[in-house]
Amino acid sequence: MEPLIRISKEKCKVCYACVRACPVKAIRVTGSDHTPQIDPDRCISCGSCVRICKFQAIDYLQHWQQVKQILDEGTPVIGILDPSYVAEFSELPDYRKLIGMLYYIGFKKIYDTSFAVDLLAYHYKNLLDTFKGKHYLLANCPVVVAYVEKFVPAALNNLAPLVTPMTAMSRLIKQTVDQNNTLVYITPCIAAKEEVRLQGDTAAINFVLTFEELRRLFASYQVTDKMIEFGEIESPAGAMGYLYPISNGIVQAAQLSEALLDNQIITGQGEQMMMGYLKEFEQHSDIIGCHFNLFYCRGCIDGPGMTCKHHHLVRRSLVIQHARQMCEPKAISNVQRTIQDYLSLDVSRTFHDHYKPPYQPSEQQIREILLATGKQENENEIDCRACGYDSCKDFAIAVAQGITTPDMCITFSLQNQRNYTHALKVTNEKLARMQEALIESEKKMRMEQELAREASEMLTAMFQKLRAGIVIFDNHLKIIHSNQSFVSILGEEAAQINEVVPGLIGADLRTLLPKEFIPLASYVLEHNEEILNKDITTDDGFLNISIFPIKNKKIAGAILRDPYQPDVRKEEIISRLNEVINRHLDRVQKIGYLLGEGAAETERMLNAIIQTFKSKDEK
C-alpha cells in the first residue's frame, strides 16, 4: 500500500526538523545519505512532520485530482463536511456560500457530520453513564486510536467501541441514499485518510480530502464565492454536534459532566497532553477514576489539513458562533427525535493490537554509544532534547535500535565541527594567500572601472594557468566562473558543455560534483567559514577540495586538486624536496656552530698553557 506520508529526497535539506517533531520517532535517519525515512509501522499519521518541514519536502497522499476527474465525468458525488469548515472558510460571508460552491463544481448532495456527532454523543452518554467498573477512552480521534494500537497495548481494551463521526455519517448516508454514489469526506485531519484506508473494502467513504485539497479543487475550477448563490446542507443536520471541532465539544453534546467533583470525564488536547494522559491512564486509571476524551491536535480546528491562519481562539470562537446559530431549542428537539430513527444504525467497531516491542540494547551498548558521542562522564549527559529525545540515554537507545544516528546529537556535531574548523584554519598557507589575493583584487575592481578591467584580465589569465581546478559559485550553487583545470577534472562531458558555454557559467554544481561537496558548499555560504583540505570520494578515486567564502552568504569559491594528475604529483615531490633541503641546511648550520665553539675553547686552553710555561721560565 502506498505510504500516506512521503519524504522527497530531492527536496529534503537533511535538517532533521521532522525527526525532532515526530512524537513517536517514526522517522529514521539511516543510509549513506542520512535522508530521513518514515517507518509505517510506527507512524500514527498525525501530520506533525508535514507541518514542521519548511522546504515542502514532506507531503501526504492527495486525491483532489481524482475527485475532479470523477466530477468532470458526471459521476454522482456526495460531499460530507467536517463541522470545522466554518473556521477554515472564515473569509466567506456566509457558510452557505461554501455549500453553493460545492454544488457548482458538481457535487450532487452536501451533508455535514454534525448529526453523526449528536448520534454518537447519545451512544456515549449511555455507555459512560452506566459505569460498570471500566473506564473508557473516547475513540473519536484517529491519531489517538493509532497511538494506542501501536504503543499503548495495555489500554487497547479501554477504547470505546464506537466509530468516528466520519464513519458514522458515511454509514448513515449509504443506508439511506443510492449505493452508486461516490462519497467524499472533507476534513482538516490527515489521519482520516489512513482510517478509511485501513477499513479496506468495508469503507463507505471513497475519498478523503483535506481543506487544503478542497481549496486546490476550487482553484482548478476557478470558482469564487462572488459568483455563487447560497446552498443548503442536506438533512439530517445536527445541533450540539457543531461543537465537535472543539476538543470537548462531543463531551458537551453528550451532556457528560466535566465538573471536578463529579470526576466523570477529562479532556486532553495537544501532543504532550495526549501522550502524558495516556501514560497516566495506563498506570493509574483506577486512582484517576474517570473517562478520558483525548485529541492529538488542539481540537479538529487545529488539524494539519487546515490552511486558515487565524489564531486558535479565533477559530474556536467561529465554531461556537456557528453552533449557537444551529442550536435553537427547536433544532435540538428535532435532532433528539431524529436520533431515535437511527438507533439501529451500526456504529460499533473493534480495534487491533499493532504493538511491536522495540529492541532493547544492553547497558554496555548504551554506554559505548554515549562515549562515542562525547558523553564520557555523567555530567556530559545534559539532556538538552535538541535531538528530539527526552534524554541522552533515550537518544543512545534510539541509535542502538537503528532509528537515528550519532550525528543527530547537536552538541556532539557542533563540537566536531568546531574542532575540525580550528584544524583547517591553521593549514594550507598557500590557499590562504590566494584567498587574500582574490579579496584584494575584488576591492581594487570596485575602486576604479579601468583598473578593475585590467585586474580582471590579469586574474583571468592567471586563473586559467593554475594547475588546480578553481570554481566560483553563488548561493544557488550556480557557477559564476571556473578555469580549464576545473573542466578537465570533471571529464569529457563537461568539456563538451564548456565548448558551448565557456567556463560552465550558470551550470548547477549539484549535477557536476559529488553529493558530498554540496553540504560543504552550503555550510561555507551560510556560516561564512572556510573549509580547507577536505577529501571527497568520486567514482574514479577522490578529490582534495578547499572551499572559502568570497561574499558573505552570496559568493564562495572552491579549489579542487586531483592527486592523480602528474602536475599535482610533481608539485608534491618538489614540496617534499624543499622540506628535506631546508632540514639539512639547518643541521649544517648547527654543526658549524658547534665546530666554531670547539675551536675557540681549544685556543683558550693552549694560550693558558703557554702563559703558564712563560711564567715558570721567567722565575
Residue 485: its pLDDT value, please? 84
Name which residue leads in pLDDT, 226 or 613. 226
Question: For residue 44, which of 400, 359, 355, 285 has the smallest C-alpha distance?
Answer: 355
The answer on pLDDT for 616 being more than 70 is: no
- What's the average model confidence in pLDDT over 272-277? 94
Residue 570: its pLDDT value, please? 60
- Across 170-174, 385-389, 392-396, 597-601, which has the greatest mean pLDDT? 170-174
The answer on pLDDT for 612 being more than 70 is: no
Name which residue leads in pLDDT, 342 or 595. 342
The answer on pLDDT for 197 being more than 70 is: yes
Gap between the Cα atoms of 432 and 423, Å rounded: 14
Residue 448: its pLDDT value, please? 62
The answer on pLDDT for 58 being more than 60 is: yes
Residue 389: its pLDDT value, please? 73
Name which residue leads in pLDDT, 144 or 560. 144
The answer on pLDDT for 568 being more than 60 is: no
- What's the average model confidence in pLDDT over 516-529? 90
Residue 245: its pLDDT value, please? 96
Residue 574: its pLDDT value, please? 61
The answer on pLDDT for 83 being more than 90 is: yes
Peptide bond into 236 cis (omega under 30): yes
Task: Give the contacts of 106 (CB within 8 A, at least 6 positions apart).
Answer: 71, 72, 74, 77
β partners of residue 58: 7
- What's the average model confidence in pLDDT over 292-315? 93
64-72 and 211-221 are packed helices; what angle lies between their axes, rounded to 10 degrees?
Answer: 40
pLDDT band at 609 (very low <50, low <70, confident <90, very high): low
Burial of 599 (0-12, 13-18, 19+ CB in 10 A): exposed
Of 70-79, 398-407, 478-487, 549-558, the one with minimum mean pLDDT is 398-407
How many CB atoms are closer than 10 A to CB 311? 9
Name which residue leads in pLDDT, 191 or 543. 191
CB burial string 259-289: b at 16+ within 10 A, e below: eeeeebbbbbbbbebbbebbeebeeebeeee
Name which residue leads in pLDDT, 460 or 145. 145
Residue 363: its pLDDT value, please? 76
Of 210-219, 231-240, 556-565, the one with minimum mean pLDDT is 556-565
Residue 584: its pLDDT value, please? 66
Question: For residue 483, which of 491, 472, 493, 497 has the smallest C-alpha distance?
Answer: 472
pTM (whole model) above 0.85: no
Question: For residue 198, which of 66, 58, 44 has the smallest C-alpha distance?
Answer: 44
The answer on pLDDT for 429 being more than 60 is: yes
Identity at 371, one-letter amino acid code: L
Please report the DSSP string for 266-298 in residue order.
EEEESHHHHHHHHHHHHHHHHHH-SEEEEESSS
Gap between the Cα atoms of 399 and 407, Å rounded: 10
**Percent of residues, the chain, with pLDDT higher than 70:** 84
**Percent of residues, the chain, with pLDDT higher than 90:** 52
- What's the average model confidence in pLDDT over 185-207? 95
Of 11-25, 184-198, 457-471, the one with minimum mean pLDDT is 457-471
Question: For residue 387, which of 407, 414, 359 has the smallest C-alpha distance?
Answer: 407
- What's the average model confidence in pLDDT over 462-471? 78
Q: Which three cell numbers stand for residue 34?
A: 542520512
Superfamily of domain 427-564 in the CATH hierarchy: PAS domain (3.30.450.20)
Identity at 182, one-letter amino acid code: T
Question: For residue 27, which of 55, 13, 48 has the smallest C-alpha distance?
Answer: 48
Name which residue leads in pLDDT, 302 or 442. 302
Quote the mean pLDDT of the chain.
85
Phi, psi of 549 (to 5 degrees): -75, 145
Residue 451: its pLDDT value, please? 63
Residue 270: its pLDDT value, please? 94
CATH code for residues 1-61: 3.30.70.20
pLDDT band at 502 (very low <50, low <70, confident <90, very high): confident
- What's the average model confidence in pLDDT over 288-296? 95
How far, in whole angstroms, is CA 516 from its chain's centroid?
21
- What's the average model confidence in pLDDT over 473-486? 89
The answer on pLDDT for 576 being more than 60 is: no
The answer on pLDDT for 459 being more than 70 is: no
Please report the DSSP string for 451-493 in residue order.
HHHHHHHHHHHHHHH-SSEEEEEETT-BEEEE-HHHHHHH-HH
pLDDT band at 210 (very low <50, low <70, confident <90, very high): very high
Terminal-to-terminal C-alpha distance of the chain: 122
Which three-class secondary structure state does DSSP give residue 209?
strand
